[in-house]
Amino acid sequence: MWKIGVIGTGYWSEKHIKAWQFISDAEIKGFCDRNKGLLFEKADQFHVPTEYCYTSLEEMLSEADIDVVDIITPPETHLELVRLAAAAGKHIMCQKPFARSVEEAEQIVSIAEAAGVRLMVTENWRWLEPFQIIKKLLAENIVGNMNVIRYTHTDFYSPRFAPEKELPQPFFRDMPKLLFYEMGVHWLDTWRFLFGEPRRLYAETKRVSPYTQGEDTGIIMLGYEHYFGLMDMSWATRRELDGQLSEQVLPDHKEQLVIEGDEATLKLYNTGKLCLINNQGVEKVLVEKTELNYEESHKKLQAHFIDCLNTGKEFQTSGHDNIKTLQLVFDTYDSAENHKVHVY
Ligand SMILES: NC(=O)c1ccc[n+]([C@@H]2O[C@H](COP(=O)([O-])OP(=O)(O)OC[C@H]3O[C@@H](n4cnc5c(N)ncnc54)[C@H](O)[C@@H]3O)[C@@H](O)[C@H]2O)c1
């Protein structure tokens, strides 16, 4: 049984907690947030005993009986929290964005390595159902040799961040780097998972919303030896709306992916339908409905973490691996700002 200490019981922690409570050889034995009210509210909601509750990581590390620290706090806290957890000999799962720079990510990875503890970045996007299926289909060579990839994400979210509106993550308004730092880590991790390491990157970004500091729209071109792809990502587009927007401002992410090969085109529609179009133009439905089910993705991701602890296998998204994703994220900003192509 792996004993887990959770730190950060805010908005996203529910996904982690539910997954830990689902996995048979994991158990929450420590529960920590510096916001005491929120800490006890979440403990009550998820039936975590109050004697497992702490308001600082130091306190949890010295008093709780835990093997793992699960960090669900903002990126600016990760270096210090990893330093403390690693010094106490705990294995670590750390939320994305893993670090504020590639250099800081390297520092975090070195700290964990020097302490001899395992470190995985919480990258759940690649564990979402459509991407897991697409990965298997590509491994079966379903499209033949890839030519062009188009990945599109749309939402009409950030233009609705007016100050009087309640947001699930109000800190989005103040992030100087928004879309590709906060969400782009997911997309670029998933892109690497499906298509491998790019050779070239060029990006354009723009802030559309009057209510954010950071960019909320952008396009990234990614070049390979024999194929290339485009990520067309936006939180400020009216494309793909289901109907009139609700009063409440919540994300409603729509993902589309089209992979053109010399034998077929694989198409993920924003409805979740997955199809294959052959060279005669015949479209066949492979899966009628896939879902962006975040709870399921966390169960798979956290089960993978536990499996790797049990077997000694490499984490798919180890701290070391995530440095490559972060490099693409920060190169996106550099490319957009300086109109520069990054060549790898
Ligand atoms: N994987 C995903 O799909 C996904 C989705 C949402 C958020 N996230 C990431 O999860 C992290 C947290 O996001 P959130 O939306 O839950 O934020 P949040 O602000 O709702 O929750 C963070 C919590 O951490 C606590 N905290 C911060 N520093 C602390 C410290 N030093 N000691 C103790 N408690 C501390 C805060 O009090 C807060 O309750 C972010 O890095 C975010 O990008 C990931």
Please tell me the distance between residue 42's alpha carbon and the centre of ligand 1 in angstroms: 13
Q: Which atom of ligand 1 is nearest to the CA of 80?
A: 31
Alpha-carbon distance of 302 to 19, in angstroms, equals 7
Q: How many helices (H) and strands (E) does the chain have?
A: 9, 15
Q: Are residues 46 and 171 in the same domain?
A: no
Alpha helix stretches (DSSP H) within the chain: 13-22, 36-45, 57-63, 78-87, 102-115, 129-139, 184-195, 294-311, 319-338
User: What tens digit of pLDDT does each residue of 166-187 get?
Assistant: 999 999 999 999 999 999 999 9
User: What tens digit of pLDDT does each residue of 7-66 get?
Assistant: 999 999 999 999 999 999 999 999 999 999 999 999 999 999 999 999 999 999 999 999
Q: Are residues 211 and 162 in the same domain?
A: yes
- Residue 266 phi, psi (nearest 5): -100, 130
Average pLDDT over residues 72-84: 98
Residues with CB under 6 A from ligand 1: 7-13, 32-35, 38, 57, 72-75, 77, 95-96, 122, 124, 169, 182
Domain range spanning residue 37? 2-122
Has this prediction a pTM greater than 0.95? yes
Q: Please give the single-letter amino acid code of residue 333.
A: Y
Q: Are residues 95 and 211 in the same domain?
A: no
Given 98, 122, 146, the domain boundary residue is 122
Q: Are residues 247 and 140 in the same domain?
A: yes
Q: How far apart are the first and last CA of the chain?
A: 42
Given 67, 93, 122, the domain boundary residue is 122
Alpha-carbon distance of 6 to 29, in angstroms, equals 8
Residue 304 covered by a domain: no
Q: pLDDT band for position 4 (50/70/90)?
A: very high
Q: How many domains does the chain have?
A: 2
Please tell me the distance between residue 174's alpha carbon and the centre of ligand 1 in angstroms: 15
Q: Are residues 63 and 149 in the same domain?
A: no
